[in-house]
Structures are given as structure tokens and as C-alpha cells.
């Protein structure tokens, strides 16, 4: 994608937009590289994982996330599409930012909301480290809250004109693929709702709402520790 954006910058209309998207991609990719090292640190520093507790909460109060995985196991094509959708979050976010920038529809607000979510969200991985319902080779703890889900919800909240339906479709797809790929428990997605509310409230300067939403996420964490 970087090559496409640089070519756009050189030859096609709105070259400044292409350059902005290029640097956005560089920053977003750099974050994911740092996140891998960070999650590796969490994995080593906190050997106790909360998978058993999270799985039990899903089974008792919600539903088994493995159900989504079983739905795609019979179709290799569907399984690959599901994995590609999960791993393709970066490209979707870059496209979404470009849509904002091209239409002058609050691109800075969307960018700042992502920065806040990705700065605060990973801190919870140290508090509730877990691998997910399908432990695979090289798996790293990244469960609660689901930043994939929080990102999709931010795309709904900060959408360009005409972006509501695509954002809702992507949010539903994200909820499914995070479970089908075995990356998250259902409760991780539930915790992403108040976490998204916290980020949104901070961006909109609704401090009381932000405090309540952050307190809700903290209560999730405390409850899980009490069950440990």
C-alpha cells in the first residue's frame, strides 16, 4: 500500500492527501510493530493467564466463542476470508482515515481517538493477560478489551458522510471474526463497549461520562481478579 500511496503522491490528483495517508500508514504500522514487542513483554512478565476464567464467564453468562470458529471450519475459503478480515484492520483504518481526509470530515478527531484508544487499551493487557480461546503457536496476550472491536465502534462514531452503513457492516464483521479467529472471548467484546465509551467521551470532553466508562472497564478487571 505504501508504494501505491507514493505513486498517487507523484502522479495523481490531491498529492497532499496521498502523502498524509502514507505517513498515517507508517505510524499505524509502527504501532503494530511496537505492540508485538509489548505483548511479548506482557507474556513474559505476567506468566499467569486468565483464559480459564474468561472462558468460564463466556460459558456461564454469554456463549462459547468457539461456536463462531466451528461455523467456518468446514470451508477453507471462508476461514481464509475470516483471517484476512481480522488481519486487514490496518488497511481498513487507513482507508477510513483517507475518506475522512478527502471529505474534510474530522480526520484529526478520528486520528486522535485512535491514538487515545491505542495508548490506554494495551495497558489493560497487563491487568488481564490472556491468549484467547484458541491458543496457537506464537500467540500473544491481547484479549481485554478488544481493540479491534473498539476501533470498529470508533469508525461508527467518527464516520464521514455516507459512512454509517459501511461502518456498521464492518463492526458486525469485526465482532464475528474476532471470535471466529480465536483471538478473543465474548466478554472481551463486551468490555470493548465501555472502553469505546471512555474514548468517545474524552474526545467529546464529556468528563463525567468518561469517568463512568473507565470505571466500568476497571470494574470488569476487578471482578475477574476476584474470580482468579
Low-confidence ranges of the chain (pLDDT < 70): 1-16, 18, 105, 135-138, 228
Quick check: is 41 in a domain?
Answer: no
Quick check: is 113 in a domain?
Answer: yes
Quick check: is 11 in a domain?
Answer: no
Alpha-carbon distance of 217 to 223, in angstroms, equals 10
Alpha-carbon distance of 138 to 208, in angstroms, equals 40
Quick check: is 43 in a domain?
Answer: no
* pLDDT value for 105: 67
Number of structural domains (the chain) is 1
Spatial neighbors of 213 by CB under 8 A, at least 6 apart, are 194, 195, 197, 198, 201
Supply 176's cell numbers: 464475528
Greatest CA span in the chain, whole angstroms? 59
Its domain, for residue 86, covers 48-227
Quick check: is 8 in a domain?
Answer: no
| Angle, vertex CA 173, rays to CA 71 and CA 206, nearest 5 | 140
Q: pTM of the predicted model, to two decimals?
A: 0.86
Q: Is 205 left (phi over 0), alpha (psi -120 to 50) or beta?
A: left
* pLDDT value for 188: 92
> DSSP code of 144?
S
Quick check: is 1 in a domain?
Answer: no
**Could you give the angle at which helices 89-102 and 147-157 cross, rounded to 10 degrees?**
20
Quick check: is 10 in a domain?
Answer: no
Please report, to the nearest 10 degrees, the dihedral formed by the alpha carbons of residues 36, 37, 39, 43 taken in order.
130
Quick check: is 199 in a domain?
Answer: yes
* pLDDT value for 174: 92
- Say if CB 110 and CB 156 are below 8 A apart: no
Q: How many CB atoms lie within 10 A of CB 227?
A: 12
Handedness of CA 32, 179, 173, 80 (dihedral sign): positive
* pLDDT value for 12: 47
Write the pLDDT tens digit of every residue in 72-105. 777 777 778 888 888 888 888 888 888 887 777 6
Q: Collapse the DSSP code of 14 into the 3-class scheme (helix H, G, I; strand E, B; otherwise coil) and give the result.
A: coil
Amino acid at each position: 500500500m505504501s508504494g501505491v500511496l507514493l505513486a498517487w503522491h507523484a502522479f495523481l490528483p490531491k498529492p497532499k492527501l496521498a502523502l498524509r495517508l502514507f505517513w498515517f500508514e507508517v505510524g499505524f504500522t509502527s504501532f503494530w510493530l511496537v505492540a508485538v514487542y509489548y505483548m511479548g513483554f506482557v507474556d513474559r512478565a505476567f506468566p499467569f493467564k486468565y483464559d480459564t476464567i474468561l472462558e468460564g464467564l463466556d460459558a456461564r453468562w454469554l456463549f462459547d466463542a468457539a461456536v463462531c470458529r466451528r461455523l467456518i471450519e468446514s470451508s477453507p475459503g471462508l476461514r481464509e476470508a475470516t483471517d484476512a478480515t481480522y488481519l486487514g484492520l490496518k488497511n481498513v483504518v487507513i482507508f477510513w482515515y483517507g475518506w475522512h481526509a478527502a471529505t474534510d470530515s474530522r480526520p484529526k478527531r478520528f486520528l486522535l481517538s485512535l491514538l487515545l484508544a491505542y495508548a490506554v487499551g494495551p495497558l489493560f493487557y497487563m491487568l488481564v493477560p490472556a491468549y484467547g480461546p484458541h491458543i496457537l503457536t506464537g500467540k500473544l496476550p491481547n484479549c481485554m478489551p478488544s481493540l479491534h472491536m473498539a476501533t470498529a465502534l470508533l469508525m461508527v462514531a467518527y464516520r464521514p458522510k455516507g459512512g454509517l452503513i459501511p461502518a456498521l457492516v464492518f463492526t458486525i464483521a469485526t465482532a464475528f471474526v474476532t471470535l471466529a479467529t480465536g483471538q478473543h472471548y465474548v466478554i472481551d467484546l463486551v468490555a470493548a463497549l465501555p472502553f469505546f465509551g471512555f474514548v468517545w467521551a474524552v474526545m467529546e470532553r464529556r468528563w463525567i461520562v468518561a469517568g463512568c466508562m473507565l470505571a466500568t472497564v476497571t470494574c470488569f478487571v476487578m471482578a475477574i481478579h476476584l474470580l482468579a
